[in-house]
Structure formats: structure tokens, C-alpha cells
Amino acid sequence: MSKKEEFEVLGKARVIQGKTGVAEVEISQNLLEDQPMHITFIAMQVETFAHRLNMPVEKALDMIKQNIEVEPMEFD
């Protein structure tokens, strides 16, 4: 028996890749303007990533930090 869940979309994000192969993250304006929700969104993504790879969140954060320091991403 399936249960239909009611939910409200608080913000949307997606990764897109153009013909040049450059990936970008698009985030809806309402998520960009709501800093606490934006931080929660990022934290949930890090936690999900760590869980999928069966590693501590701290290690996932270290990997992210190393990647940012090596090659920072620029957003328009």
C-alpha cells in the first residue's frame, strides 16, 4: 500500500553540464535567499554522500575542503 506524502518545495538545485563539459550548480532564488535553509541543504547533501560511501562525515568534509583548495569553483 503506497502512502501519498504531502510536501512543500522549499528550494531546488540541480547540476547541469553544457556542451563544453563545464558543470554548474543551479539553485533556485528562494533557496539562495534563505541562508539557514541553504546551509541545511548543503549539510544534507554532505551527509547523504558520506552515508553512500560508508565513511564518516568528517572525512567527506575533508575531501570537500581539499577539492575546494585545489581547484576552487567559480559561480556566476
| pLDDT, tens only, 37-60 | 888 888 988 999 999 999 999 999
- Among residues 12, 64, 67, the alpha carbon closest in space to that of 41 is found at 12
For the chain, the distance separating the N- and C-terminal CA atoms, rounded to the nearest angstrom, is 45
Kindly report the pTM of this predicted structure. Answer: 0.58
**Alpha-carbon gap, residue 60 to 51, rounded angstroms:** 9
Mean pLDDT calculated for residue range 23-44: 85
pLDDT (0 to 100) of residue 76: 57
Mean pLDDT calculated for residue range 23-39: 84
**Alpha-carbon gap, residue 18 to 31, rounded angstroms:** 23
**What number of H helices and E strands is found in the chain?**
3, 2
